[in-house]
Structure 1
Amino acid sequence: MTTRRSLLVAAWAAPLAAAAPGLLPGTLARPALARPALAQPALAQPAPAPLVERREFSFQGYTTRGGAAIPAIRTGYQTLGTLNAAGDNAVLVTHFFSGNGHAFGRLQPDGPAGWWDAIIGPGRPIDTDRYFVIASDTMVNLNAPDRHTITTGPASVNPSTGRPWGMSFPVVSIRDFVEVQKRLLDHLKVRKLALVAGPSMGSLQAIEWAVAYPEMVERVMPVIGTGEMDAWMLGWLDLWASPIRTDLAWRNGDYYGQGREAPLRGLAEALKLVTLHSRDRGWARQFGRRPAEGQDPARRMQDRFAIEAALDAAAMARARLSDANSFLYLVRANQLFLGEHEGLDAALAKAGGRWLVLPSRGDRVFPAEYSDELVAALRRAGRPVAQAVLEGPQGHLEGVVAIAQAGEAIRDFLAR
């Protein structure tokens, strides 16, 4: 049961955000001669996660960056802390590929804490006694079937037809996510962001924010991310999406009708790819080479190894909570990261803010070299930047499930 639960966490935190999805001590402007790993935090009993309320923001009429019209947009969000009179103590937290805006707090007293709860809350590194913290669901959210997620995407009803959009929903990009968030922040009367931060796909949103609205962003913290969606990553994203497109039940995205079967098998295989890719070898050692219980792969081709059976079970459980078309739309949004600019240098020439970049040493999705390249590009652009390396056996997911190790670095960053 413990193994299965840990795998479900992996699937929930799967990055696909990549689309893209350690810190240096001293002044942020100081060049880095080395990349020390972050010290693991001392174990301490954190205060209980505060209760938060999920709310809905909606507006009429949105034109995508590609020029398509969407009649109405709905998005879920939550906040913690108080916005000051100047509207400049806000922090925007952006989520990873398979996540939603439940980044902190609990929705019920006995419910799970948000995925970055370890660093967000009263007295925590992102201190809600000081900052007004906002986290929202993206468009085309993978968790569309979940009642706690509010999103507009292919599973939403097209008001002109009365049926789900399916693959007729317009293509959207990471920049479109940012534009919807900007509408939300305007509604909340936020004038300036003291910080925009997120892991994996969240890091892509944070970077797009700094490029699109440099005058509004004071600090940027991309975690387990990249500054460029290169051809290698485009290819990986296509591989993640392929099992859905080859599932006969997908029907070119037209599977929402009564009596039709959702492409759960293809979606589960896609989530399996993402789950394993987002982990590192250290995590997989718990399974060893042992067979699944009661099976013998050396004698029967149908039998499975323990890691195969565990990945199958976790991925199918996750698929039942997700929407296959939304997965495909998220892939495309990630592929379009910074696509409105001629290249990373051209994009960062427009960016503002001070930067803290947090790669994971064992990341297989966005290897640490992606963060090295981002840091180098930021220095070429004259932006003050610091970097530190997350350590541990979780691979890409160190930036989600083990972000507490960066707590002191984050405090220091926000103090400057």
Structure 2
Amino acid sequence: MTQLKPHHLKYFTVCLILIFSSIASAELLVAKQKFETENFNTFNGKTIKKVQVGWESYGQLNPQKDNVILVTHYFSASSHAAGKYTKDDPQAGYWDALIGPGKAIDTNRFFVISVDSLANLGAYDPNVITTGPATINPDTGKPYGLDFPVVTIRDFVNIQKLVLESLGIEKLHGVIGASMGSMQAIDWASAYPDWVPRMVSIIGSAQSDAWTTSLLERWAIPIRLDPNWRNGNYYGHTPPTEGLIAALMFITQDALTPMAFNQVGQTASVNHNPLELDPLQSITARYSITNWLRERAQQRAKLSDANHLLYLTRASQLFITGHGANLTSGLQTIQAKTLFIPSGNDLLLMPYLSQEANQALLDLGKVSQLEKLTGDSGHLNGVSGISEKALKIKEFIEQ
């Protein structure tokens, strides 16, 4: 009988995880829950009189309530991390390959929970519950608009903590998040170190440096330049749809790589050519590849709110672990063992951001490690390509 070598055994184990994941995925049906609280105090000292957010859970909370894994979602996502709302849903939650019975984050063992962010981008998605600029201000009876206070990653964390406490949970087994979710995950570890023994940051960052802050600003500019934005007071008027679509086009392209984008350009439905006839004949004509990008942004814009996008952008720009004077002080309070999983070709939250955070923690004597995703999809590797690190994530959270 041929003996399996270690690398063969590891590959075999990954294959088994993926096989059982695909079998189990159809069995995971989930329901959106709602949490409400009053007089929520924000990081910048403002008060939101009434807050409601949606949340989802997968698996069962054990009697000790110590098997909880919090999943903190990325910029354009919601708490729909896994499973389906009905068997007929065409699309499962964004990390369905990772979360479920027998999967890397095994819902036979863990109670997995995720919470919709404040000012969630999908303000008009029927499966999202959020409070933000599009919400009715109880003082005026009209949408908040820009009267809604600026919110931060810490505010998202504090809302999540309230949700957990409402369930009688006093400590996490771990927290894991991608992109904007990674910011929440590491801030959890900094702000509430006694709660977090394990933290996983995927395609993430420990702070928004000068480059990242300026890159994110590109997402806000088209909305502010849209005449229909009306300084945020467009509710009841024509919304700034063109600005929102342009912003979503930037977001989609920033999340990919030239290789991934060029593969789309080579498909039969796009067939990109620098000398396409329509752009050659008219300066107002669009290329086939920009039509492809715009069509996807138009679909996303139907459920999105422009002001909410601005608020999420600002929350991401304001981010520094610990929300203190400097990064070192924020990282110093972390007690969790940490795992960073950047994407090697990420053009949005570039891998150096994870590398710097990992090294800073090591320099502080913390337990930290880093592994890179190697797919071709850039930032999107952290969502569509997460199966590559399924075994590593499983090993880390189960240690």
Query: How does the TM-score come out when normalised to structure 2?
Result: 0.91
Q: Is the 8 A contact 2:25 2:100 kept in 1?
A: no
Identity within the alignment, %: 42
For residues 207-264 of structure 1, the C-alpha deviation after alignment (integer angstroms, 9 at most, x for no partner) is 110001000101000100111211111111111100000000000011111xx11100
Cα pair distance change 1:294/1:235, threshold 3 Å: closer
**Where does 1:110-129 land on structure 2 (aligned, <5 Å)?**
110-111=88-89, 112-129=91-108
- Quick one: which amino acid aligns to residue 168 of structure 2? K
1:333 aligns with 2:321: no
1:377 to 357, 360, 376: 360
Whole-angstrom distance in 1 between the partners of 2:283 and 2:340: 45
Instruction: Map 1:224-303 to 2 at 5 A.
Output: 224-257=203-236, 260-286=237-263, 287-288=265-266, 290-291=272-273, 295-303=277-285
| Aligned positions of 1:102-141 closer than 5 A | 102-111=80-89, 112-141=91-120
Measure how far apart 1:300 and its partner are. Answer: 3.0
Q: Could you tell me which of 53, 58, 61 is aligned with 1:75?
A: 53
Distance 1:404 1:267, change over 3 A: same
* Displacement after TM superposition at 1:40 (Å): 12
Distance 2:274 2:129 in 1: 38
**Residues 86-97 of structure 1 aligned to structure 2 (within 5 Å):** 86-97=64-75
Distance (Å, rounded) in 1 between the aligned partners of 2:259 and 2:301 = 25
Deviation at 1:133, TM superposition (A): 0.5
Compared CA separation, residues 294 and 363, structure 1 to 2 (3 A): closer
* Cα distance in 2, alignment partners of residues 231 and 369 from structure 1: 13
The answer to whether the Cα contact below 8 Å between 1:359 and 1:371 also exists between their aligned partners in 2 is yes
CA distance in 2, matches of 1:353, 1:130: 21
Describe the SS at the equivalent of 2:158.
helix
Letter in 1 for 2:317: Q
- What CA distance in whole angstroms lies between the structure 1 residues aligned with 2:397 and 2:221? 41
Equivalent residues in 2 for 1:4-403 (5 A)? 42=15, 44=19, 45-49=22-26, 50-111=28-89, 112-257=91-236, 260-286=237-263, 287-288=265-266, 290-291=272-273, 295-338=277-320, 340-403=323-386
**Given that residues 179 and 203 in structure 2 are in contact (C-alpha distance below 8 angstroms), is that contact kept between their aligned partners in structure 1?**
yes
Distance in 2 between the 1:362 and 1:238 partners? 21
Measured at CA, do residues 298 and 41 of structure 1 come closer, stay the same or move farther in structure 2, by a change above 3 Å? farther
Contact 2:196 / 2:335 at 8 angstroms: preserved in 1? Answer: yes
Which runs of 5 or more residues in structure 1 are unaligned? Answer: 1-24, 26-37
Deviations along 1:153-178, whole A, 9 cap, x unmatched?
00000011100000000111000000
Contact 2:82 2:96 in 1 (8 A): yes
Q: In structure 2, do the counterparts of structure 1 residues 398 and 41 end up closer, same or farther at CA, with 3 Å as the change threshold?
A: farther
Structure 1 length normalisation: TM-score? Answer: 0.87
Q: 1 or 2, which has the higher helix percentage? A: 2
C-alpha deviation, 1:296, in angstroms: 3.4
Unaligned segments of structure 2, at least 5 residues: 1-5
CA distance, structure 1, for counterparts of residue 95 and residue 175 of structure 2 = 14
Partner of 1:7: none
Residues 30-57 of structure 1, C-alpha deviations (whole Å, 9 max, x = no match): xxxxxxxx99954634423400110101
SS state of the match for residue 183, structure 2? helix
Give secondary structure in 1 for the equivalent of 2:344: coil
Deviation at 1:415, TM superposition (A): 2.4
> SS of 2:87's equivalent?
coil
Contact 1:269 1:315 in 2 (8 A): yes
Larger RCO of the pair (alpha carbons < 8 Å, separation 6+): 1
Q: Secondary structure at the match of 1:297?
A: helix
Once the 2 structures are TM-superposed, how far is the Cα of residue 345 of structure 1 from its aligned partner?
1.2
